[in-house]
Structure 1
Amino acid sequence: MPIALNHVDTGGAGIPLVVVHGLFGSADNWRSHVKAWQAGRRVITVDLRNHGRSPHAVGMDYEAMAADLLALLDRLGIARAHLLGHSMGGKVVISLARLAPERVASLIVADIAPRAYGHDHDAVFAALRRVAQGRPANRREADELLAEHVEERAVRLFLATNLERAEEGGLRLRLGLDEIQQDYEAIMGAPAGEGAFAGPTLVLRGAHSHYVTDEMLPELREVLPEARVVTLDAGHWLHAERPEAFREAVDDFLGGAG
């Protein structure tokens, strides 16, 4: 059964842009982009299940997460939307586009292909478990705990966005870590649905990322035949590393997508 996703809605007229974060992310990660976009269109950012301020629930397969997102569109009375998803969120929006194409005005997929990937989050899970067990009193202590398993400061800062103040004091994770780790195989798997989404599509990829390589493009175009592929001088976190170029590409695409 779909769950009620936490979301932030800027309001406004026209076909909205719905933004879906990646694994371990949240709607909060998109605040600067929303500020830029909301002047010209309605923008809705969501927290997927087990992320941000949304409820925790067993099941992280893409059919379930697409159903959550579709239920949100129904609840908000949105007949069609432009969907933008990064990484895991990209697979969620691809899934929705395949399962309910009539609800998708256009699709924007940020640095992910519609395929299964190998495991590469062991260190992140270990770091988050260490924080959960260590119950840090402040963000400095949390960073020290994360650093036992994650060397890159940028990654630690990103993971720290999942901390919140606990009622009993100190910091705690707001992630549904058990539920995410339990269904990690599904998260790393291919999107739900069958066949192709033939609507307007933009695929943004990082030149220094391994998630959408040239070798993957034929496979990608089997699912997204109308995809316009744009490569930015960035890694996997292209919307954070090159925010202006990212927004420019999205704005240019949406200007032609209606």
Structure 2
Amino acid sequence: MSSKFYRNALQKYQNFRQLMTINIISFGSRKPKPISMAYRAFEGTDIVGNTAPLVVVHDLFASKRQWKNMSRAIQENAKPARKVIAVDIRNHGDSPHSPYHTYAHLAEDIVNFLKENDIDRAALLGHSVGGRAVMYTALKYPQVVERIIVADGSPISTSNTFLQLESIFPRLKSITINPELSIAEGRDTMKRQLAKTIHNEAMLDFVLKNIKKTEGGRFLWGQNIHVLHTNFKNMAHFPIEDVRGYQYRGPALFISGSKSDFLKVSEFEDIKRFFPKAELQLMDSGHDIHTEYPSEFAKTVVSFINQS
């Protein structure tokens, strides 16, 4: 065969490689597809002007329901008055299930929620995993974030307590309950079974709050357990490489439970590389600050969002 044939063949191969590279780059840079989050809004009749609402983003295994009383308390004491909106993140509560569960997806869901509800900017409050979703959103989309509050969550390291949660998923997926039992009896049965794996009483009770019973008698988890197990490592480690070089320069409050290992005081200077205006508030509590000290937590949040 002639050298011309080989040159043409080589050119076609190089063109093909270039086309494939472009397609791969395009596919890899495509934004995650958002879902429409379920939510509950709390608002009075005295909201004036364009005060940014506060969107509350819960933790793994939780839902907007656990933030009902806290959301109402914050709304009632915010000055100027703000709407407070508690959302269910994907694969939790009343929000749609999805096979994808990363912080990039959660951030897109938050931005999509703001667009769907004609909200130009919002204050964001997130607990633990929800706090990481809030941080990711603020770093990637600062233009839609008025300020952030992160309750016991860090972008720097991962809590050993959180890592231990991975071991409970096989147990959660294997439990079967007699459909003839009442919801209370079903929870008691599950509690006895899960107590062999979950030795923390508070965590056990928290997980059991998410049991549902269908009209047909089936017991179901309120979360998509299978997807959360598959994506657990996506939740356990904040994607620091995705946001390296990014900063959120708006107001930021980090609330740390002194008896918790989720947000270490020693990491705060590293956190300020991403959030240069960050403030740190310590509370004498464990991880679930908002349920252990609800009054103090609400006052701390209200004081921060009331600042001009």
TM-score, normalised via structure 2 length: 0.79
Q: Which amino acid in structure 2 is aligned with residue 23 of structure 1?
A: L
Q: 2:164 aligns with which of 117, 120, 134?
A: 120
Cα deviation, residue 206, structure 1: 0.4
1:94-146: CA deviation from partner (whole Å, max 9, x where unpaired): 01101110111101001111134262213432442243x34663222222222
Aligned to 2:18: none
1:174-201: CA deviation from partner (whole Å, max 9, x where unpaired): 2111111111111112145341111100
Q: Which amino acid in structure 2 is aligned with residue 193 of structure 1?
A: V
Q: Which amino acid in structure 1 is aligned with residue 192 of structure 2?
A: E
Q: 2:88 aligns with which of 44, 47, 68?
A: 47
Aligned to 1:168: 216
Give structure 1 stretches of 5+ with no counterpart.
none
Q: 1:139 aligns with which of 181, 187, 193?
A: 187
> How far apart in 1 are the matches of 2:191 and 2:71?
27
Task: Determine if the alignment matches structure 1 residue 19 to structure 2 residue 56.
Answer: yes
Aligned to 1:236: 287
CA shift in 2, pair 1:241/1:130, >3 Å: farther
Q: 1:88 aligns with which of 97, 113, 129?
A: 129
Cα deviation, residue 215, structure 1: 2.0
CA shift in 2, pair 1:193/1:221, >3 Å: same
Cα deviation, residue 171, structure 1: 2.2
Task: Determine if the alignment matches structure 1 residue 69 to structure 2 residue 103.
Answer: no
Aligned to 2:303: 252
Q: Which amino acid in structure 2 is aligned with residue 254 of structure 1?
A: I
> How far apart in 2 are the matches of 1:108 and 1:233?
18
Q: 2:207 aligns with which of 143, 151, 159?
A: 159
Task: Determine if the alignment matches structure 1 residue 106 to structure 2 residue 157.
Answer: no
Larger deviation, residues 224-233 vs 190-199: 190-199
Task: Determine if the alignment matches structure 1 residue 30 to structure 2 residue 74.
Answer: no
Give structure 2 stretches of 5+ with no counterpart.
1-32
Task: Determine if the alignment matches structure 1 residue 193 to structure 2 residue 243.
Answer: yes
Aligned to 2:40: 8
| Identical-residue share of aligned pairs (%) | 30
Cα deviation, residue 165, structure 1: 1.2
Q: 2:173 aligns with which of 113, 119, 129?
A: 129
Q: Which amino acid in structure 1 is aligned with residue 253 of structure 2?
A: L
| Pairs aligned (count) | 256
Aligned to 2:197: 149
> How far apart in 2 are the matches of 1:24 and 1:135?
23
On the 8 A contact 2:74/2:301 being kept in 1, the answer is no
On the 8 A contact 2:258/2:285 being kept in 1, the answer is yes
Q: Give secondary structure in 2 for the equivalent of 1:205.
A: strand
* Greater C-alpha Rg: 2
Cα deviation, residue 149, structure 1: 1.3
On the 8 A contact 1:134/1:145 being kept in 2, the answer is no
CA RMSD across the alignment: 1.7
